[in-house]
Chain A
């Protein structure tokens, strides 16, 4: 797929289900990432402690050592490698427990690979980028001021509704990386269910109207089967 902006990310996949592991290894490889695989929690923890990885993908339920314990042990040892938790449990409590244990994001099985890829790249960037608490976000000639809540494209002042502003903020913070519909629904509305209909598309297309209409180079692009990316051509 190769749509990531962080090529050659080194990932440790801790997953006991061989079929899922094989599929993810192949797909992440195609996306330009290197993957190592551990089939249980203990082996996974050993590799994570000794090796050097850009990100971990950890299944919630693992033989030998539970996924959350792996993450907690790593964090106690001072390792801050970004972690994406995979889980069959979708209750809000489970998500909160996963993030509290030190996970950076939580993805419920089953998931679309594009979803996993987008989230993986976002957490890797968030940790390595370290942009700090910027108050003004800029991509090309688009500028978003978090304090005055103003948005301008070049000289043009753009009037956005509250939710549109939030969507744009997420896209700009992750400029160059794919943001999925589910990620937008999570970060803007804090809803984790799948609305099935194209509610998010309509919001984004309205935002796009305001940002890109009449502009020579559109910034908000749709990535088929995955989501959106805000990118200067």
Chain B
């Protein structure tokens, strides 16, 4: 699609420039030709009129005299004159014969005529005008047009050259414009793609030109800054709340534990304290989860990334959860392709896999097994945890990845609603993705990570 916009833009620019150049050159050509023709036509006509004036005043004798005088006159050297009887008998003038193709009462040209000048016959081209006199006689006046042809030829060459030059120029301009323009657009596009890919600090580079594109880019950058600062504010508030409430909750939990451990606590109070302790624990879990997510998103952990053998980590987590799965009546099948490697934080990768298995255990009841897979796929590594439980309706799959979201069907099962958010944050931190698919029945969670170069 991009290349077609580029082509269209290039073609449009080329056509526009070439078209307007053709129009301009054409107009100049036409105007010049017309002007040249007009000049010689006017000259022939006025010469003819003046001779006709002589004829009307003094008749044929005077006309013949005048023609004779003008053929010898150097000031009228560029003219040809001919008086004939029935076009065949020359009465006077310096033209050898009436040209066959010239009718009566016509204005034509340029036509080649054999004309005598200073006792020498020349063939030249003339613009002609003829008129019928009386008694079968005709008068022909021609104006030398031999300069016209090379002028027009030169003009044609100039016009043609100009056209070719301007079309080439137009093509060049079209290419340059489309490349320049789309280069700037491409620059913005690449920035947006990289921001969507998680490089939130990315901004569109400005050119020194300070043109409309730069203006657009700087507005766009300001929008991103604004967005970042809003997100940071919201995060900051969330984190501050989580952080500030965590310490007193922790102390509350400690005191409750102490009270529960003290032999003097009466059994009635003990039950209440136990309920308090459970709720406090859940609140703490949520706050700790939120704070961990915040840390992941601020990328504090990027530095502890090392190449991790996927098989080892998946098997370790599988081993950790296998007895729990068996207790729940589910077989935990681990199928891992050997020698897969990802650049990752081992701890986070393990926690993400653990969360997926934990979800499968919590919500995947009803099936008989949970399958944990790792394989290579399209240049990436996919770690799959699939259950045969009730599954997640397609409309909810996107939503369950958001923080604190718990589907109505799962409210009875303890959890913070942060498990999948953490998996998503871990995936993002590693340049990967998490997607939930239909396992028909059940959920197939696919954690996709870039494979590390061997």
Contact = CB atoms under 8 A, between A and B. Distances in A.
Q: Do A and B bind each other?
A: yes
Interface of A: 1, 19-20, 23, 27, 30, 90-93, 109-114, 163, 185, 189, 191-199, 202-203, 206, 224-225
**What are the 5 A-B residue pairs with the smallest beta carbon separation, nearest first?**
A110-B250, A202-B323, A193-B351, A93-B304, A202-B324
A109 to B, nearest CB: 8
A13 B300 CA distance: 28
Contacts of A191: 316, 320, 347, 350-351, 354
Contacts of A20: 247
Interface string B387-407: 000000000000000000000
Contacts of A93: 303-304
A225 B304 contact: no
B310 to A, nearest CB: 16
Contacts of A1: 258, 261
A224 B358 CA distance: 24
B247 A19 contact: yes
Given A93-B304, A195-B358, A196-B285, 10 more contacts: A1-B258, A27-B258, A91-B295, A91-B304, A92-B345, A92-B347, A191-B347, A193-B347, A194-B288, A195-B354
B258 A224 contact: no
B304 A110 contact: no
Contacts of A202: 323-324, 327
B197 interface: no
Interface string B336-352: 00000000011100110
Contacts of A91: 295, 300-301, 303-304
Nearest to B419: A196
A192 B351 CA distance: 9
B354 A112 contact: no
B2 interface: no
Contacts of A198: 324
Given A196-B285, A198-B324, A189 B300 contact: no
B257 A113 contact: yes
Residue from B250, B320, B327 whose CB has the most chain A CB atoms within 10 Å: B320
A202 B319 CA distance: 12
Interface string B47-79: 000000000000000000000000000000000
Interface in B208-259: 246-247, 249-251, 253-254, 257-258
A199 B300 CA distance: 28
Given A92-B345, A112-B254, A225 B260 contact: yes
Nearest to A89: B300
B284 interface: yes
27 contacts: A1-B261, A19-B247, A23-B254, A27-B254, A27-B258, A91-B301, A91-B304, A92-B304, A92-B345, A92-B346, A92-B347, A93-B304, A110-B250, A113-B254, A191-B320, A191-B354, A193-B347, A193-B351, A193-B354, A194-B285, A195-B320, A197-B358, A199-B323, A202-B327, A203-B320, A224-B260, A225-B277
Nearest to A162: B319
B257 A193 contact: no
B325 to A, nearest CB: 9
B29 interface: no
Q: Which of the four size classes fits the interface of chain B?
A: 35 or more
A40 to B, nearest CB: 19
Residue from A30, A192, A199 whose CB has the most chain B CB atoms within 10 Å: A199
Contacts of B323: 199, 202-203, 206
B344 to A, nearest CB: 11
Nearest to B319: A163
B247 A110 contact: yes
Nearest to B321: A199
B319 A110 contact: no
Nearest to A111: B250
B246 A110 contact: yes
B350 A224 contact: no
Interface string B280-293: 00001100100010
A182 to B, nearest CB: 13
A165 to B, nearest CB: 13
A20 B248 CA distance: 10
B257 A225 contact: yes
Contact of B261 (A92, A111, A195, A224): A224
Contacts of B358: 195-197
A112 B253 contact: yes
Nearest to A93: B304
Contacts of A30: 258
B245 to A, nearest CB: 11
Contacts of A192: 347
B295 to A, nearest CB: 8
Nearest to B325: A202
Contacts of B80: none
Nearest to A192: B347
A27 B256 CA distance: 12
A192 B292 CA distance: 13
A160 B261 CA distance: 33
A197 to B, nearest CB: 6
Contacts of B250: 109-111
A197 B363 CA distance: 14
B85 to A, nearest CB: 121
Nearest to B281: A112
Contacts of A206: 323
A110 B277 CA distance: 15
